Amino acid sequence: MEIERKFLIEKLPDLSEAFDVWKIEQAYLADKPTLRIRKKNDEYILTYKNRKKTDETGLETVASVNEEIEIPLPESIYEHLLQKKMGHIVKKTRYLFRLDDDHKIELDIFEGRLEGLIMAEVEFTDVADANGFVPPAWFGKEVSGDKRYTNKNLSKVEKWG
């Protein structure tokens, strides 16, 4: 189960404070449920995602709640599946920051067609944790429930802005 909240970022933090950096490209093969392929640095992954309105307790939340399964792929299969993508490839650099002992921030700076878009996501262990989250001052508008900001929908955008 993936429980996350997503925010737009207008002012970047000090990127040198990131504890890890990933170059990511991803593409989508199916909509409902979502099938995604991703290249993360030198790793290739197939992801199945199915969005839910609530968590397993039935609590409503502002956070996105998804059933998510990831399977490693050989590069050759990734390249083959890439030819079957819907829309465009989403390219971004992800910076990981430690927020506290229990949370990390995934800061995505988009590239190419989506240049200018910067978002941060925080994942949570449960809905109560997500509902109680107070974002850092440098976070902007929350877009957790706004489907326009899902990577799947961003793959359909011709040009950002």
Within a domain: 161: no
Residues 6+ apart with CB under 8 A from 130: 3, 4, 5, 61, 62, 63, 124
CATH of the domain at 60: 2.40.320.10
Per the structure, the count of domains in the chain is: 1
Within a domain: 160: no
* Tokens representing residue 74 in the block: 């050989």
Residue identified by tokens 């709640």 is 65
Q: How many CB atoms lie within 10 A of CB 58?
A: 8
pLDDT of residue 21: 98
Within a domain: 41: yes
Within a domain: 117: yes
142, 4 Cβ separation under 8 angstroms: no
pLDDT of residue 67: 85
pTM of the model: 0.90
7, 140 Cβ separation under 8 angstroms: yes
Within a domain: 80: yes
Within a domain: 159: no
Within a domain: 124: yes
Query: Would you name the residues annotated as active-site residues?
Result: 28
CA angle 160, 25, 78 (to 5 degrees): 140
Give the domain range for residue 70. Answer: 2-154
pLDDT of residue 66: 72
pLDDT in tens, the chain (161 residues): 889 999 999 899 999 999 999 999 999 999 889 999 999 999 999 999 987 655 455 555 667 777 889 999 999 999 999 999 999 999 999 999 999 999 999 999 999 999 999 999 999 999 899 999 999 999 999 999 899 999 999 999 999 98
pLDDT of residue 64: 73
Q: How many CB atoms lie within 10 A of CB 44?
A: 20
Residue identified by tokens 């802005």 is 161
Query: What residues are paired with 153 via a beta bridge?
Result: none
pLDDT of residue 58: 54
pLDDT of residue 56: 53
Within a domain: 18: yes
